[in-house]
C-alpha cells in the first residue's frame, strides 16, 4: 500500500446512520444517501480515498437472504479490484451480528471487510456515525487485518464477525465479543490489533434455506411451538437451550419428532456467551439432545447458528459437513448418538422434565 494513496470501497445500504427524525412519521426514517453521509463525515480524505457505492436505504430489519447475497457480490467485486485496499460496509446495527457473520462465511477475499453503522441518527446531537466511518476506514487499510475476514467496527472496538454480539439496545458501545474479546481498538495513536482470529468457518453457498426456525427454551415449555414450526414448514431448527444445553423433556420429544422427518436440529445456548454441550444426561439435558441427533454449534449464538445452518443447507452440505461448519475449526464436538459415552437414550414421550 506504500507509494500510492490508499483506497477504500464504501458500500452504503442504509440504517440509522442514514436516518433523520420525520415529525409526521413520529420517528427516524431513511433520509440520507451515501453522498450525504460522506459530506457530513470530515477527515476521511486524510486517511484514504473513498470510492462510494450506494445500494440504497434499507433498514437492517428488512434485509433478506437474497439481499445479503447481492451485497456479498458487491463486496466480492470490490475485493477483486487491485486498486482497493479494503471495503467498508455501512448498514443498520439491528442485525450486524448476523449479516457480518453471513458475509464472513461466504466471502474468501484477502482485502479487509469492515461492517459499521451508527447507534444515533443524523438528527441527534453527537451522533456517532462520522466517528465510526473514520474508524472503519482506518481499519480497512490496516495491513494486519489482511485475511482476517469480516469484522465489525463501532465505538472504537474491532470485533470478529463470528463472536460479536449486540449487548444493549441503544448504548454506543453495545457491540462486544463475549467469548474471545475484541481483535483490537482504534485510539488516538491509530489501530491497535491485540490478537488474530485464527481459522474461520467458510461455506461456498449461493443460496440459503429460507425456513430455518429459531426457538428459545424457557421455564415450563412444552413441545407445541416446535411442532407448530414443523407443521408450518421448516428446513431446519435451531434451539436456544437454557444454560449449557438443557430443556424440558417435552421440547426434546418434539425435536425428536422433527428429526424423524429429516429436519436437522441444532442445539445452542440462550446465554450470550459460552456453548451448549453434553454435560447433562437427565431427560432434556444436552447429552440426550446429542444422542438423539442434534448438532452442537460451538459458541455461536442462536441467530448466528441459524445463519450457518441456512447457508449450509443452501450449499447442500451433508450432515457431517453441517456439523463441522456449526462446530467451527478445531472444535471438539459430539454430533452423533455414539459420541456421548454413557448417555441414556432420549425417550420419545412422557411429561416434561
- Is the separation of the CB atoms in 166 and 96 below 8 Å? yes
Residue 90 per-residue DSSP state: E
CA dihedral (68, 71, 72, 75) in degrees, to 10, reads -160
Cell numbers at 234, concatenated: 421448516
Catalytic residue status for 16: yes
CB of 267 within 8 A of CB of 294? yes
8 Å CB contact between 326 and 305: yes
Strands in 198-263 per DSSP E: 212-216, 236-241
Is the Cβ–Cβ distance between 136 and 150 less than 8 Å? no
Cell matching residue 288: 440426550
Is the Cβ–Cβ distance between 133 and 90 less than 8 Å?
A: yes
Tell me which of 2, 13, 16, 242 is the catalytic residue.
16
Residues noted as catalytic:
16
Amino acid at each position: 500500500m506504500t507509494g500510492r494513496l490508499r483506497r477504500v470501497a464504501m458500500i452504503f445500504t442504509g440504517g440509522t446512520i442514514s436516518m433523520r427524525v420525520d415529525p409526521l412519521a413520529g420517528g427516524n426514517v431513511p433520509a440520507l444517501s451515501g453522498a450525504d453521509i460522506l459530506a457530513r463525515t470530515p477527515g476521511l480524505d486524510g486517511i484514504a480515498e473513498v470510492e462510494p457505492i450506494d445500494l440504497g436505504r434499507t433498514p437492517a430489519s428488512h434485509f433478506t437472504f437474497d439481499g445479503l447475497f447481492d451485497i456479498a457480490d458487491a463486496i466480492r467485486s470490490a475485493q477483486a479490484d487491485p486498486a482497493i485496499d479494503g471495503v467498508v460496509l455501512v448498514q443498520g446495527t439491528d442485525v450486524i451480528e448476523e449479516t457480518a457473520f453471513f458475509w464472513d462465511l461466504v466471502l474468501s477475499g484477502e482485502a479487509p471487510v469492515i461492517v459499521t453503522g451508527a447507534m444515533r441518527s443524523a438528527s441527534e446531537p453527537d451522533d456517532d456515525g462520522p466517528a465510526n466511518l473514520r474508524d472503519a476506514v482506518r481499519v480497512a487499510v490496516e495491513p494486519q487485518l489482511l485475511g482476517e475476514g469480516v469484522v465489525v467496527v463501532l465505538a472504537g472496538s474491532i470485533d470478529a464477525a463470528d463472536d460479536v454480539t449486540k449487548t444493549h439496545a441503544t448504548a454506543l458501545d453495545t457491540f462486544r465479543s463475549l467469548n474471545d474479546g475484541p481483535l483490537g481498538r482504534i485510539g488516538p495513536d491509530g489501530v491497535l490489533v491485540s490478537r488474530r482470529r485464527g481459522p474461520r468457518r467458510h461455506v461456498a453457498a449461493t443460496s440459503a434455506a429460507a425456513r430455518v426456525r429459531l426457538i428459545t427454551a424457557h421455564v415450563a415449555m412444552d413441545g407445541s411451538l416446535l411442532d407448530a414450526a414443523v407443521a408450518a414448514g421448516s428446513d431446519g431448527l435451531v434451539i436456544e437451550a437454557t444454560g449449557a444445553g438443557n430443556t424440558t423433556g417435552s421440547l426434546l420429544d418434539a425435536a425428536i419428532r422433527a428429526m424423524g422427518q429429516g429436519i436437522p436440529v441444532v442445539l445452542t445456548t440462550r446465554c450470550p456467551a459460552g456453548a451448549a454441550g453434553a454435560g447433562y444426561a437427565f431427560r432434556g439435558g444436552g447429552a440426550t439432545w446429542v444422542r438423539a441427533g442434534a448438532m452442537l454449534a460451538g459458541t455461536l449464538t442462536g441467530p448466528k447458528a441459524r445463519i450457518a445452518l441456512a447457508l449450509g443447507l443452501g450449499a447442500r452440505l451433508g450432515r457431517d459437513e453441517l456439523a463441522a461448519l456449526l462446530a467451527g475449526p478445531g472444535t471438539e464436538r459430539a454430533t452423533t448418538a455414539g459420541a456421548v459415552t454413557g448417555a441414556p437414550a432420549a425417550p420419545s414421550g412422557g411429561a416434561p422434565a
